[in-house]
Amino acid sequence: MSEDQTGLLLLAIETTCDETAAAVLEGPRPPRLGVPTIRSSVVASQVGLHQRYGGVVPEIASRAHVRQVLPMIDEALRRAGITLGDLGAVAVATRPGLVGALVVGLTAAKALALALRIPLIAVDHLEGHLYACQLAYPDREVYPCVGLVVSGGHTSLYLCRSPLQCEFLGGTIDDAAGEAFDKVASMLGLGYPGGPEIERVAKEGDPTAYAFPRSFLHDERLLLSFSGLKTAVLYALHGQNAQRAPTQISEDRLRNLAASFQEAVIDVIVAKTRQALLQTGMKRLGVGGGVASNSRFRERLLRMATELGVDLFIPPPGLCTDNAAMAGIALPKLAAGLVADLDIDVAAGLVRPGRNG
């Protein structure tokens, strides 16, 4: 078989926040196009290190990435049954994320690209979250679609004409959905990360027990906000202006607060996503990010999509939360000739393509 016909093996690295991850994907050698398959994907979670602080501590995250990144790369190669010499390209998420964390992944990727003389591809973490939908449904066309990213740092809607052409349509003006889950979980005395904890407790609760606010619900702009909701949970717990001293809350109250909060978040995101679908006329919806692993959310999205006759693409939970496989978006980038120079830097802040410049 000629070299063109063999697959290209890509090493992908992810260190944007608090997971150190590496993956090996195999895809058609550019310029041939096609959806890569995941040969291996490993994630070292830092949850245990950040738990006691109730959130991610950037310096601790960076140091843990330094310790974990090479073992994760070794493990991903081992599980894929290959060695460094088999790699045809290396990809890394260079934005957005914590600056010190991003630098660790990028430095490792640059070193490999230089030493192995293979192309380096820089990927956008958010575009990667959406591309996870294509990885999860390799035999179906996911794009063009409305893309919804719901993670710890972002709650954003995009019009994605292709994996590499995502135009920002709207999103949260304050907290991201995942961040709201984490903060409310901390108020309720639940563990970190808060999303899975709230989901667990909410299962037994009454989602109508508290009438929490749903900001911008009837506003046609694609704006979301969770800060009022967060404050409303605080007042429900500790009284108006949070003056009441914290008291032990009963299991029942805890469950109802969690269920009512979760339902309010879901109501708003589902409504805004519905608006985005109607406004753009898109018949496909791709969803990614940690919050998309929430089963109640998945159920509500499916109901809405079915009602609109829209195809819903939502990856299995392990491809929703941070992972390196989603950096497989590097293969269409490579096919488009988008190779990074070795002097490329990270971009910690959000770079919004399209409408907002």
152: contact with ligand KG4 by CB under 6 A? yes
Scanning 42-98, the segments in alpha helix (DSSP H) are 47-50, 58-80
Least separation in angstroms between residue 271's CB and ligand KG4 is: 17
Pairing of strands 311-313, 155-162: unpaired
Least separation in angstroms between residue 50's CB and ligand KG4 is: 11
Between residues 184 and 340, which has the closer beta carbon with respect to ligand KG4? Answer: 184
ω into residue 138 within 30 of 0, thus cis? no
Instruction: Give the footprint of Zn ion on residues 124-163 (CB under 5 A).
Output: 151
**β partners of residue 88:** none
ω into residue 213 within 30 of 0, thus cis? no
CA distances from 197 to 184, 258, 271 (A): 10, 9, 24
Between residues 87 and 160, which has the closer beta carbon with respect to Zn ion? Answer: 160
Rounded to the nearest angstrom, the gap between the alpha carbon of residue 257 and the centroid of all alpha carbons in its chain is 25
Least separation in angstroms between residue 98's CB and Zn ion is: 12
Least separation in angstroms between residue 182's CB and ligand KG4 is: 5
Instruction: Give the footprint of ligand KG4 on residues 176-205 (CB under 6 A).
Output: 178-179, 181-182, 193-196, 199
Instruction: Return the ∠ at Cα 23 (arms to 16 and 65), rounded to 5°.
Output: 35
Least separation in angstroms between residue 177's CB and ligand KG4 is: 7
263: contact with ligand KG4 by CB under 6 A? no
| Measured distance CA(14)–CA(96) in Å, rounded | 11
Between residues 88 and 207, which has the closer beta carbon with respect to ligand KG4? Answer: 207
Instruction: Give the footprint of ligand KG4 on residues 226-255 (CB under 6 A).
Output: none
Q: How many residues bind Zn ion (CB under 5 A)?
A: 2
171: contact with ligand KG4 by CB under 6 A? no
Q: Which two tokens stand for residue 312?
A: 């819903």
- Contacting residue, 20, 225, 260, 293, with ligand KG4 by CB under 6 A: 293
194 binds, among ligand KG4, Zn ion, none (CB under 5 to 8 A by kind): ligand KG4
CB-based burial, 146-157: b 16+ in 10 Å, e otherwise = bbbbbbbbbbbb
Scanning 177-250, the segments in alpha helix (DSSP H) are 177-187, 194-202, 227-238
Instruction: Give the footprint of Zn ion on residues 319-348 (CB under 5 A).
Output: 322
**β partners of residue 26:** 9, 37
- Applying CB under 6 A, which residues contact ligand KG4? 17, 151-153, 178-179, 181-182, 193-196, 199, 289-291, 293-294, 321-322
